[in-house]
Amino acid sequence: MGVKLTIPDTFQPSGQRFVVDLMLMRLGRWLRLMGQDVANPGNGSDWEIRDQAAREHRTVITRDRRLWQSCLKIERPCILIFSSRIEEQLLEMAGAGLPMRLDPQRCTLCNEPLEQMAQGREQWRCRRCDKLYWRGSHWRKMEEMLEKIGSRREEDWGSGQKK
């Protein structure tokens, strides 16, 4: 009989560093837009992701049950994500206590810290790859999606359901 616990009891989202597996690269990009430090996996093998997580003091986020179980065996913090849909994946991370708000601090491609362009303007640039970010019309759509997820989480917790 498998253990259903997906989020370690000691999980604290603020200041937490993550590494995603290859199945969750899109979730990783969203988490970076939300201010989280989320590394891409090296070449993606289970043991290399575990080694990277240990070396860089990161929590593994995966959809792979074998990787999750192997992390549990060596007491490596790991979050098992059940859904394949980005909205549901974000809801699972909200259930882990991650705030559902945009906070552009890291590049969605390479995870490097962003720098704000001109003072007072909502534009950022990646120091490594020069990718530009700005508050455009797409920004409001992303905020609405995160607000909806946050509301769903509150409804689920308010009705006694932990999802």
Residue 14's pLDDT is 54
The total number of structural domains that make up the chain: 1
In a domain? residue 30: yes
In a domain? residue 136: yes
Length of the chain: 163
In a domain? residue 163: no
Residue 161's pLDDT is 56
Q: What residues contact residue 64 under an 8 Å CB cut-off, 6+ apart?
A: 21, 23, 46
Secondary structure class of 150 (helix, strand, coil): helix
User: Domain residues for 33?
Assistant: 17-158
In a domain? residue 2: no
How many C-beta atoms surround the C-beta of residue 12 within 10 A?
10
List, in sequence order, every beta strand (DSSP E) within the chain.
17-20, 37-39, 59-62, 78-80, 114-116, 123-126, 132-134
Q: Return the residue matching tokens 């070449």.
A: 43
Integer Cα distance of 152 and 163 in angstroms? 10
In a domain? residue 10: no
Token reading at 125: 């640039």
Residue ranges in the chain whose pLDDT is less than 50: 1-11, 163
In a domain? residue 152: yes
Q: Which of 128, 4, 20 is nearest to 29 (CA)?
A: 20
Residue 152's pLDDT is 85
In a domain? residue 109: yes
How many C-beta atoms surround the C-beta of residue 130 within 10 A?
8
Residue 79's pLDDT is 95
Residue 9's pLDDT is 46
Residue 159's pLDDT is 55
In a domain? residue 131: yes
Residue 160's pLDDT is 57
For 74-93, write each residue's pLDDT tens digit: 999 999 999 999 999 999 99
